[in-house]
Copies of this chain bind each other. A is one copy, B any other.
């Protein structure tokens, strides 16, 4: 029995609220249950130094948590003077995931930064950030298309969505909340495209090692879950 009473293959209620920022070219408040992440996509003319005069653009992501997004207040990273290892790991993952569906040449020499700030955390912040970040990125590209800067369908090649799966109390479950996450034996994050391709798999045994079959079981749950998320993305941008 899951603490939330959900079925093993049942995700939390997912919602996307678009245009939540007056300033950003694209924005989305994504909720996976009590996990709320504000995603904004910002267009900038400058690209990273290594792409200067390459004709290519760049999509990158930054991730942060408000200090009291969590049960206990965490030290503010700006005050601590550095981003922790976990933060850096997550923002690198978000950036790679979003770039997987972008044609950087078609984007041209511009940079889009997707900021994912966790307003409230209850497990699965990175998967919510990727899934909502895609909406913000889409809307930013749409904003650019409206100004004849790009062709949206040439730049954005596919959807991308992410979900966590894990082994909790001996069962494979999807979309772990904090209670499950902190007690799971195995925890895995999957990033998949709209056409079902795998962009990223990260599976970690928290307790005892897992098997090939268990990994496949989690992958199958994730394939169904990300397909559902992509369907919700399609509704949201319709």
Give complex CA distance A66, B212 in Å: 36
Partner of A122, one of B22, B24, B188, B201: B22
Q: How many copies does the complex hold?
A: 6
A100 interface residue (CB < 8 Å to B): yes
* CB-CB under 8 A for A38 and B209, given A78-B78, A85-B88: no
The listed residue (B22, B73, B115) touching A67 by CB distance below 8 A is B115
**Is A170 part of the binding interface, using a Cβ–Cβ cutoff of 8 Å?**
no
**Is A8 close to B, CB under 8 A?**
no
Residues of B within 8 A of A203 (CB): 198, 200-202
A70 at the interface (CB under 8 A from B): yes
Q: Are A40 and B68 in contact (CB under 8 A)?
A: yes
Partner of A219, one of B113, B208, B215: B215
Of the candidates B24, B68, B202, the one whose C-beta lies within 8 Å of that of A201 is: B202
* A82 CB-CB contact with B under 8 Å: yes
Asked whether, in the complex, the Cβ of B96 is within 8 Å of the Cβ of A79, the reply is no
Given A64-B78, A73-B113, decide whether A201 and B198 contact each other with a Cβ distance below 8 A: no
Q: A23-B120, A40-B68, A70-B23 are in contact. Are A89 and B81 (CB under 8 A)?
A: no
The chain B residue sitting closest to A71, CB to CB, is: B23
- Say whether B85 contacts A78, CB under 8 Å: no
A36 to B219 Cα, complex, angstroms: 34
> What residues of chain A have their CB less than 8 Å away from a CB belonging to chain B?
21-24, 27, 34, 38, 40, 42, 44, 62, 64, 66-71, 73, 76-89, 91-92, 96, 100, 113, 115, 117, 119-120, 122, 188, 192-193, 195, 197-205, 208-212, 214-216, 219, 223
Q: What are 20 A-B pairs with beta-carbon distances under 8 A? A: A21-B68, A24-B68, A40-B68, A42-B67, A42-B68, A42-B73, A66-B115, A76-B78, A76-B115, A78-B78, A78-B82, A78-B87, A88-B89, A100-B209, A188-B201, A197-B211, A198-B210, A201-B215, A212-B223, A215-B219
